[in-house]
Amino acid sequence: MVVADSVGMMRSVDKLSHGAGMDVPLPPPRRWRTLVAVVAAGAGIALAGLALWQLQPRGLQVPLAKARFVTVEQGLFRDELALRAVAAPLQTVMLDSVDSGRVEEVLVRDGDSVQQGAVLFRLSNPQRHLELLARESEHAQQISNLTNLRVAAEASRTQRQRRVSDQAFAVMQAEKQHQRNLALSDKGFLSTAALEESADRLAQQRKLLLAETDSNATESAIQQDALRQMEQAIARLDAGLRVVGATIDGLTVRAPASGRLTDFHLQVGETVRPDQHLGRIDDLARFKLSAQVDEYYLGRVAVGLHGSASIGGTAWPVTVSGVYPQIKDGHFTLELMFEGPQAPSLRPGQSSEISLALGGARKALLLPFDAWLGDGGGQWAYVLEHDGTLARRRAITTGRRSQSQVELLSGLAAGERVLVSPSAAYAASPLLQFTQ
């Protein structure tokens, strides 16, 4: 028994020496369990909030102060085109120099009213005077040649007539002699050989007369042709002489039409070159109006369209007289004429408001004509969400346009609010978020 107790005590001492009695786990305190649970719940709530925040729609952030919204409304669309036109003279005559020369005298000034035919200025050109002298000398020489040719032709005609007359007399003498020989031959006083010789002489004289007559006609035709050519040459010289004379007369420049002289700045002593632009003459009796129109309206504007021009507080009826379809910087040119009397106070370069009726009025969904139309091309717009902080891009269809209204065909409903301020800078974003 003593041995057994000794062994048991030794085992107990051995266990205590190895720390086996200290490995038994102790239960944790209750307050640590509560803290862990609270931390875990907070982390779960944070994760859930983060997930919800990630699921919320977000767009490009835009300052609310830069945004401008308009409500889509049902109203009456007035199909009118408002333009700003500039007055210009209906008739304008350009003054371009025809010849060169030195300015010797200027009789008018820029802005003067001139009458047709009035002298504006005078040029000097010595070369033109030398050309005139040369042409006159050549003309005189050709006239002298023509006179000599006519004298020679008349002398030749006289000689030809004399030869024909002499030959005709010879034929007449031969005929008389032959008739006498026939009478003698019938009585037997003349031989047959002598009669045949008389007949041959008569035939020869007749051939000579015919040849002389033909030669006379040919020579006369040749001389007449030479005279005609000489007369034509003189006529050409006359025409050239008149041209040179007109050129010299043109050195004294006269007004080709009545009106106001514009853009005219010649000075005495200045040298003028051919085809140099010297100014213009504007007819102030009649005016036309010219306006630049957006290319969108090119297919809707035509000659004959009626409208009105507001000048001096009065509406003056006008009609489209010309449409120039060449597009430049997104615009084309339109010209209008007054249908009746024009404003008496109208001056060149004066601006006026034009209103053209393109069609009848009708009910439609409307938005104002603003920057949004150019940025989206009328194919999309940013529509404000109900919470007022987001705007989503939406495809739309627009119809007719005026200077103040746009007709909406589809994609929008009455009461919706649309961003109408410039949006080209963020046109690639489908969603906008507005910030304070």
Residues 132 and 234 in one domain: yes
Residues 291 and 343 in one domain: yes
Give the relative orientation of helices 126-187 and 192-250 as an angle to the nearest 10 degrees: 170
Mean pLDDT of 51-79: 74
82-107, pLDDT tens digit by residue? 889 999 888 888 988 888 889 999 99
405 falls within a domain = yes
Residues 64 and 102 in one domain: no
348-390, pLDDT tens digit by residue? 888 999 888 787 678 888 888 888 787 777 888 889 988 788 8
Mean pLDDT of the chain: 81
281-310, pLDDT tens digit by residue? 988 888 899 999 988 888 888 898 888 898
Residues 185 and 242 in one domain: yes
Residues 245 and 256 in one domain: no
What's the number of domains the chain is made of?
A: 4
**374 CB neighbour count, 10 Å cutoff:** 14
Residues 427 and 371 in one domain: yes
Residues 310 and 402 in one domain: no
**385 CB neighbour count, 10 Å cutoff:** 15
Residues 293 and 373 in one domain: no
9-22, pLDDT tens digit by residue? 444 444 444 444 44
Residues 275 and 303 in one domain: no
Q: What is the DSSP letter of 162?
A: H
Burial state string for 88-104 with b = 16 or more CB within 10 A and e = fewer than 16: ebbeebebebebbbebe
Range of lowest pLDDT (111-115, 132-136, 259-263): 132-136
179-198, pLDDT tens digit by residue? 888 888 888 787 888 888 88
Q: Among 386, 359, 312, which residue's Cα sits nearest to residue 76?
A: 359
Range of the domain at 112: 92-125+252-280
Residues 322 and 370 in one domain: no
Of 119-123, 146-150, 246-250, give the range with the top mean pLDDT.
119-123
Residues 120 and 134 in one domain: no
26 falls within a domain = no
86 falls within a domain = yes
The amino acid at residue 388 is G
Mean pLDDT of 130-145: 78
